[in-house]
Structure 1
Amino acid sequence: MAKGNHKRGRGKPQTHSLLEHYQPIDGVVDEMVDTSGNPRPAWKHFVEALEELGAEKLGQRFARADQYLRDAGVYYRVYDKAGANEREWPLAHVPVLIEESEWAAISAGLVQRAELFEETIADIYGPNRLVEKGILPAGLIAASPEYLRPVVGTKPAGGHFLHFCAFELGRGPDGQWWVLGERT
């Protein structure tokens, strides 16, 4: 959980021992606790379950998860001017819990985004209308080291080009969820 020199939000004292040193940052929406420092409804039972484990067991489990990722060689690749660099997978030990009604709207948008990616890659390896209409520059696609020219004109056995899609989300200052990045 968060550590640091943050200013505490106003309100009644917290009753959860795991949260006794957790201090939300003033003026920043905290997904886990409200402005009084109490767990939001989606988090209440989760925080209670974590408290039952205790700080020592939680620390051991977090360390074991980190070690497992290192032992399994889990990483991700970052592309920059220097080329491709492999970095450790940044594991968030505590997930972000989102209310069901809010998640329904988010997931609908993510499905739409994934479908757009699927249609775009299907077009690139198929009829190529996006390049023909000048929407995508042909040179950009041809210069990509990930572009597989021999795949042009083929249809995937399962019907989909996109086999993996993950989104990195964050809440913007306007309170709306933003897609900060994606991995495909």
Structure 2
Amino acid sequence: MPDTRPVSPPPDTLQHQLSAAASHLPDGHYGEWSDGQRLRAHWHQFAALEGDASPADMARKAADAACQIRDNGISYNIYAEQNGSTRPWSLDSLPFILPPAEWRQIEQGVAQRAQLLNSILADAYGPRQLLQQGLLPGALVLGHPGFLRQLDGYTPPGGIYLHIAAFDLARTPDGQWRVISQRTQAPSGLGYLLENRLIVSRLFPQAFRHMPVQHLASSYRQLLNTIHRLSPFGRRGDGTPRVVLLTPGPHNETYFEHTYLARYTGIPLVNGNDLTVRGNEVFLKTLRGLEPVQAILR
């Protein structure tokens, strides 16, 4: 009779390490790697492609990631600490992998929520039907310090009030995704996302080469294309607009991201002192004199 008992992976393989870690999952927690009996399909594929990584190899990968973070100056400044302490960026060397079907669900959900938030902003600065119907308290909107009375009644180009939004997600014990918070006022993360991807892809080249990893560059192109299209130049078809990225300066907690995004997108990084207003137009101070600015990414 053939032996039909399951074969355990060798103890020095990545598959064994993930399986062993999943076996110690506390009760009431969702297992990302394993369903409690075996590795999930996408993690099994990852482990098979990087399967010869021993515990010592994984330790070296973690050290390599820390070295790249230090060498690239990836930091997060802490306002609350004396002198604005700069901390190295924290990054888990293992990627967070989601199967395509699960990502499509998240993508559709956050897109729907972003459209809803944009519609709420359009109503708050326009007809205010939500306030009239009592669905939103008037004091919550009109009394909020973030409500810009100068823009009351103003409709931005394309009717887009919300260009970038970020959502914090968490799993329930049964594996369902839930939104636990949303960030709409100049949310950070676009620069750290790129750097995270670059570092982890270097640590696990086989997996990134053979697994269907979602590319990121198109998202940044879409952001810039939208800014160009909605700027005064873009609406008139007068050519490429001048776009700048506005930063509070080096002491801001995510200043690394500002400089990184400016380099990646090829747009100037400026602070408030680099800009001036003449009439109803914004200008960038340059060695050649004042240059008009058509769009500001904040």
Q: TM-score, normalised by structure 2?
A: 0.45
Alignment check: 8 A CA contact 2:131 2:138 kept: yes
| Alpha-carbon distance change, 168 to 157 in structure 1, aligned in 2, over 3 angstroms | same
The aligned residue for residue 39 of structure 1 is: 39
| Alpha-carbon distance change, 14 to 183 in structure 1, aligned in 2, over 3 angstroms | farther
Where 1:96 maps in the other structure, the secondary structure is coil
**Higher relative CO (CA 8 A, sep ≥ 6), structure 1 or 2?**
2
Alignment check: 8 A CA contact 2:166 2:183 kept: yes
Listed one character per residue, the Cα deviations across residues 113-158 of structure 1 (whole Å, up to 9, x for unaligned) are 1111110011111111111211111111122221111111112224
Q: Name the aligned partner's letter for residue 144 of structure 2.
A: S
The aligned residue for residue 142 of structure 1 is: 142
| Alpha-carbon distance change, 30 to 65 in structure 1, aligned in 2, over 3 angstroms | farther
Where 1:22 maps in the other structure, the secondary structure is helix
| Alpha-carbon distance change, 52 to 173 in structure 1, aligned in 2, over 3 angstroms | closer
Listed one character per residue, the Cα deviations across residues 88-116 of structure 1 (whole Å, up to 9, x for unaligned) are 79855344322212222232222111111
Please state if 1:128 is matched with 2:132: no
Listed one character per residue, the Cα deviations across residues 16-41 of structure 1 (whole Å, up to 9, x for unaligned) are 345376244143321122313x5321
The aligned residue for residue 281 of structure 2 is: none
Alignment check: 8 A CA contact 1:50 1:58 kept: no
Please state if 1:69 is matched with 2:69: no
Q: Specify every segment of 5 or more residues in structure 2 that has no aligned partner in the other structure, as ranges.
A: 1-5, 80-85, 185-298
1:23-172 aligned within 5 A: 23=22, 24-27=24-27, 28-36=29-37, 38-47=38-47, 48-49=49-50, 54-55=57-58, 56-62=60-66, 64-65=68-69, 68-70=73-75, 73=76, 91-93=90-92, 94-172=94-172
| Alpha-carbon distance change, 152 to 63 in structure 1, aligned in 2, over 3 angstroms | farther
Identity, % of aligned positions: 29
Q: Specify every segment of 5 or more residues in structure 1 that has no aligned partner in the other structure, as ranges.
A: 1-10, 78-86
Q: TM-score, normalised by structure 1?
A: 0.69
Looking at structure 2, the residues matched to 22 and 112 of structure 1 have their Cα atoms a distance apart, in angstroms, of 36
Alignment check: 8 A CA contact 1:169 1:177 kept: yes
Please tell me the root mean square deviation across aligned C-alpha atoms, in Å.
Answer: 3.3
Alignment check: 8 A CA contact 1:125 1:151 kept: yes
Instruction: State the aligned residue count.
Output: 161
Q: Name the aligned partner's letter for residue 32 of structure 2.
A: E
| Alpha-carbon distance change, 65 to 22 in structure 1, aligned in 2, over 3 angstroms | farther
The aligned residue for residue 8 of structure 1 is: none
Larger radius of gyration: 2
Where 1:116 maps in the other structure, the secondary structure is helix
Alignment check: 8 A CA contact 2:19 2:33 kept: no
